[in-house]
């Protein structure tokens, strides 16, 4: 796991994260810094060129309270429609599966069916309900995801899950498209006398003018 995760974060450098001042300190890692979270990133054969990781997974050991904000673009991609439905039907989630390479947008009913098949396959592997699996996609608009390659990669992706910093870093690399750097950060603070951690990862470099709700 460490060798694969280590390799993933070698592909592109990490962005400098400009955090605002406040009652927190930055700590290593990203989405895996908070207790209960694991992550992984790997090359699943989805990208058109090169072998940079293109498949990421973030999981929580327990039912996590879930929230989401999604594009108000009316030509919303299949994973956006799927996640809005999932969040409306369940207050919690356990996993986020993310692919780069194809956006699964403007792909019609077939694209939506692809999302369902991917979430069902992962839910079965993790012994979860479908609506506990959320999905994000990014890449070329109009192209359906390379579903066979994605489905065939899931068992290995699950086996790579790790609560380490490397796990978070490899997931942050795997979600990138034209990004020149990966984006990942975590902070630690105290709320009500108890230490908490907040971490995250993001991607984005072009087609950027978010309007999310």
Cβ–Cβ < 8 Å for 184, 34: no
Q: Does 199 bind other proteins (CB under 8 A)?
A: yes
Q: Which of residues 107-136 bind other proteins (CB under 8 A)?
A: 134, 136
Question: Do the beta carbons of residue 71 and residue 210 sit within 8 Å?
Answer: yes
Smallest gap from residue 87 Cβ to other proteins (A): 8
Using rule CB under 8 A, residue 142 touches other proteins:
yes
Which of 161, 191, 183 minimizes the C-alpha distance to 94? 161
Work out whether 54 is an interface residue with other proteins (CB under 8 A): no
- Which of 59, 58, 85 has its CA nearest to residue 70? 85
Closest CB 121 distance from other proteins, rounded Å: 19
The C-alpha atoms of residue 13 and residue 109 are separated, in whole angstroms, by 37
Residues of span 146-165 touching other proteins by CB under 8 A: none
d(CA 155, CA 20) in angstroms, rounded, equals 39
| Piece of 53-61, 114-122, 123-131, 151-159 that binds other proteins (CB under 8 A) | 53-61
Among 7, 11, 15, 117, binds other proteins (CB under 8 A): 15
> What is the pattern of x (binds other proteins, CB under 8 A) and - over residues 21-50?
-xxx------xxxxxxx-------------
Q: Does 145 participate in binding other proteins (rule CB under 8 A)? A: no
Among 42, 55, 77, 123, indicate the residue that binds other proteins (CB under 8 A).
Answer: 77
> Which residue from 100, 190, 175 is spatially nearest to 145, judged by alpha carbons?
100
Does residue number 61 form part of the binding site for other proteins (CB under 8 A)? Answer: yes
Between 3 and 65, CB nearer to other proteins? 65
- C-alpha 25 chain-centroid distance: 24
Burial of 79 (0-12, 13-18, 19+ CB in 10 A): buried
Q: Provide the angle, in degrees to the nearest 10, between the axes of the packed helices 147-159 and 108-126.
A: 20
CB of 149 to other proteins, least distance (A): 19
Number of residues in contact with other proteins under rule CB under 8 A? 90
> What tokens does 82 get?
């799927």
| Residues in region 86-105 near other proteins by CB under 8 A | 91-93, 96, 98, 103-105
Q: How far is the CB of 49 from other proteins (least distance, A)?
A: 11
Backbone angles phi, psi at 102, to 5 degrees: -125, 140
Q: Are 134 and 86 in contact (CB under 8 A)?
A: yes
Q: Which of 8, 70, 133, 166 is close enough to bind other proteins by CB under 8 A? A: 70
């Amino acid at each position: 796991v460490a060798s694969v995760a280590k390799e993933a974060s070698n592909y592109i450098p990490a962005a400098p994260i400009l955090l605002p001042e406040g009652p927190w300190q930055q700590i290593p890692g990203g989405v895996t810094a908070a207790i209960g979270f694991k992550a992984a990133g790997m090359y699943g054969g989805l990208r058109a060129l090169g072998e940079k990781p293109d498949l990421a997974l973030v999981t929580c050991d327990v039912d996590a309270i879930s929230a989401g904000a999604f594009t108000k673009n009316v030509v919303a991609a299949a994973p956006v429609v799927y996640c809005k439905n999932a969040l409306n039907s369940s207050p919690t989630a356990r996993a986020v599966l993310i692919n780069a390479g194809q956006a699964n947008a403007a792909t019609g009913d077939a694209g939506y069916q692809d999302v369902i098949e991917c979430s069902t396959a992962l839910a079965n592997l993790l012994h979860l309900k479908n609506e506990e699996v959320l999905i994000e996609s990014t890449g070329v608009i109009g192209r359906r995801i390379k579903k066979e390659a994605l489905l065939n990669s899931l068992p290995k992706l699950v086996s790579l899950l790790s609560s380490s910093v490397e796990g978070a870093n490899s997931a942050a690399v795997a979600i990138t498209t034209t990004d020149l750097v990966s984006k990942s950060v975590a902070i630690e603070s105290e709320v009500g006398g108890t230490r908490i951690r907040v971490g995250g990862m993001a991607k984005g470099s072009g087609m950027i003018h978010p309007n999310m709700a």
